[in-house]
Amino acid sequence: MPRQPLRLAVIVGSVRQGRFGPVVARWFVEQTARHGRFEVDVVDPLETTLPAALPPSSEALAATHERPAEMIALADRLAAADAFVVVTPEYNHSFPASVKHLVDWHLTQWQAKPVGFVSYGGVSGGLRAVEQLRLVFAELHAVSVRDTVSFDNYWARFDDTGRLIDSSGADGAAKVLLDQLGWWGAVLHDARIADPYRANG
């Protein structure tokens, strides 16, 4: 019997004015549709206001039912995901504060789930942001997959309509990333049902 599609949350990392992130995210969502393994939910931090001040404790952070309705809806969307992809630029050799703020406002939603990365930047293609995000998600008991998609000098990679000019390498990289997310997503989905994950033993 074939598996049901996995739920993949694609997180748009940048909230900067004139951001390029939605262009890259749209390209990746198209790749995901071709892959056929996932149902996609695009999560854009600009659509939900997250207060600057975090709750005082991990216990308070986990009590998502006490949040405003729009924040509860966001927490529920992340909790429903079987896997995540963060589409991130590189700012000052790291990832945007908007990504960290979204991550820090959620605790259990990431646990025992795979995370992949699509990055863009200058000569490094955003890879320094990715390497630092791996450390963040490891602390949250998530599993980052090995392969990524990276666009160096991204402004020269897409045309004025947002289409990738040469997709030969990127399409293949996206498939590898999605294959890995599919494997980990399915295995961890079943494991969470059979033996719910306990982060603190």
Query: 168 versus 109: which is more confidently predicted?
Result: 109
> What are the start-end ranges of the H helices in the chain?
21-35, 58-62, 69-80, 97-104, 127-139, 168-194
CA-wise closest residue to 20 among 177, 173, 162, 131: 162
Q: In the predicted model, what is the mean pLDDT of the chain?
A: 94
pLDDT in tens, 72-108: 999 999 999 999 999 999 999 999 999 999 999 999 9
Domains observed in the chain: 6-194 (3.40.50.360)
Q: Output the six-digit token pair for 52.
A: 């600057």
pLDDT in tens, 162-185: 999 999 899 999 999 999 999 999
- pTM of the full structure: 0.95
Q: Output the six-digit token pair for 188.
A: 């961890």
CA-wise closest residue to 12 among 73, 83, 87: 87
Span of 23-32, 38-47, 53-62 with lowest mean pLDDT: 53-62
* The residue count for the chain: 201
Say how many Å lie between the first and final Cα of the chain, rounded.
Answer: 34
pLDDT in tens, 10-19: 999 999 999 9
Say what the pLDDT of residue 201 is. 57
pLDDT in tens, 127-143: 999 999 999 999 999 99
Q: Output the six-digit token pair for 183.
A: 């494997």
